[in-house]
Amino acid sequence: MNAFAQPCHRCQTCARALLAATRQCGACILTPPPLDACLTAVAYAYPWSDLVGDFKFREQPGWAATFAQLLRAAPWVEPALESCDMLMPMPMSKERLRERGYNQSHVLATALDRQKVAQDILLRVTDTPPQRTLPRSERLRSVQHAFAVDPFKVEYVRGKRIVVLDDVMTSGASLHAAASALRASGAAHITGMVFARTE
């Protein structure tokens, strides 16, 4: 498995693979994302795309342990986990959670660091179509106001270092919308962390 998980140089704020040893890609320089950092373990390609599908859609949550191990081996992940105050899995809508039976991001977060998992602070307040089915412009629009911090728990977010965890990052629309909600509630530093990143 490790042969398919070799680290490569990536943009520090969107985790897109870069050819040159630069800190950021052109898109992030032109339009800075709401993330202070973004980290990933692997590219969303064979064999990981198939295994993520098993983990996410075919009731195989046991893959979380392997994914967590590979994430911890990726550059800068351990320091990000050690320095954060909270590890927040991307929330799912109640409808999607009922349909799937579990939140794969929460399962992965628990495998990464059970002690730091913070659930029910970042909320998904609107259900949106599956992001993989939408073009980029619609992804950005559909999740723009999909997340909010529980108004009774804003004090837990203010001034904190937070890692927001998801299984896969494509356009970054969901992570950016979640980060924007956390930033509006006073989060001091936000790292996006995903197991796999599309190229």
Determine whether 55 is exposed, middle or buried from the number of CB atoms within 10 Å of its CB (0-12, 13-18, 19+). Answer: buried
Q: Give me the pLDDT at residue 5, please.
A: 55
Model confidence pLDDT, tens digit, residues 93-149: 888 888 889 999 999 999 999 999 999 999 999 876 655 555 555 555 667 789 999
3-state SS track over 86-137? EEEECCCCHHHHHHHCCCHHHHHHHHHHHHHECCCCEEECCCCCCHHHCCHH
Res. 67: pLDDT tops 80: yes
Q: Give me the pLDDT at residue 53, please.
A: 94
Over residues 78-106, the mean pLDDT reads 94
Specify the higher pLDDT residue, 166 or 129: 166
Over residues 171-191, the mean pLDDT reads 96
Strand, helix or coil at 154? helix
Res. 157: pLDDT tops 90: yes
Q: Give me the pLDDT at residue 196, please.
A: 97
- In the predicted model, what is the mean pLDDT of the chain? 90
* pTM of the complete model: 0.90
Specify the higher pLDDT residue, 199 or 138: 199
- CA–CA gap between residue 8 and residue 1 (Å, rounded): 16
CB 116 within 8 A of CB 91: no
Strand, helix or coil at 138? helix
Residues 6+ away with beta carbon under 8 Å from 155: none
Model confidence pLDDT, tens digit, residues 167-177: 999 989 999 99
- CA–CA gap between residue 129 and residue 52 (Å, rounded): 19
- Domains, the chain, ordered by start: 34-197 (3.40.50)
CB 162 within 8 A of CB 183: no
Task: Give the pLDDT band (50/70/90) at residue 3.
Answer: very low
Specify the higher pLDDT residue, 62 or 131: 62
Give the gyration radius of the chain's Cα atoms. 16
